[in-house]
Amino acid sequence: MKPILLALLAGLAFSNVVHAQNNATGPIATPAGALQFVRDDRDFVVTLNNQIVDRFDANTLAHFDDIGTSNDAIARTLVQTDTGPILYDFRRNPPLIQRTGKRMVVKRVFWQGDEVVMQGSQGWFRYQRGVLTKLQSSTTTYHTN
């Protein structure tokens, strides 16, 4: 199992951008405008250009960012919440907001085109077009259920 996992990580590291966990509240530059996370009691309020676009419960702020190609703006971010990760896609305006619907602690995120591959507390998952899929190991590759 360890050789397979190491091969997966090595392959992802050379072909994709991996970003570590971030806790910056902003303002953060995105193609859609200035992103800000504001603490409101137990919730966080997400604003874009000072307009509220979302709200989520979380004890602390943790997000994984996909740096776009222009001006180092954040193209997408995956935010850890109490109810599971939320994907914000700022490549369009208004931004696309998608909830994974699965409670998990995200440890690592890999950005691959329109999909997000994440290592969570319950294994590896792929999130693409609103669908969360658990990745299963085999003798040589990872594949979807």
The mean pLDDT value for 94-105 works out to 91
Q: Which residues of 112-144 are buried (b: 16+ CB within 10 A; e: fewer)?
A: eeeebbbbbeeebbbbeeeebeebeeeeeebee
Residues 6 or more apart in contact with residue 14 via CB below 8 angstroms: none
* Sheet bearing 74-79, strands edge to edge: 21-22, 63-67, 74-79, 86-89, 96-99
Mean pLDDT, range 56-75, rounded to an integer: 87
Beta bridge partners of 51: 48
The pLDDT-based confidence of 138 (bands split at 50, 70, 90) is low
Q: Is 50 exceeded by the pLDDT of residue 114?
A: yes
Contact 91, 83 (CB under 8 A): no
Cβ–Cβ under 8 Å, residues 33 and 53: no
Average pLDDT in the chain: 82
* pLDDT per residue as tens digits for the range 38-62: 998 889 999 999 999 999 999 899 9
Q: 34 pLDDT exceeds 70?
A: yes
Say if CB 34 and CB 49 are below 8 A apart: yes
Cβ atoms of 100 and 106 closer than 8 Å: no
| Three-class secondary structure assignment of 35-98 | EEEEEECCEEEEEECCEEEEEEECCCCCEEEEECCCCCCEEEEEECCCCCCEEEECCCCCCEEE
Comparing 137 with 129, the larger pLDDT belongs to: 129
Q: What is the pLDDT of residue 21?
A: 79
Q: What percent of the chain stands above pLDDT 90?
A: 56
Task: Give 68's Cβ-side CA count (13 Å radius).
Answer: 16
Residue scoring higher pLDDT (140 or 131): 131
- Predicted local distance difference test score (pLDDT) of residue 42: 83
pTM for this one?
A: 0.79
When mean pLDDT is compared across 20-24, 91-95, 110-114, the lowest value belongs to: 20-24
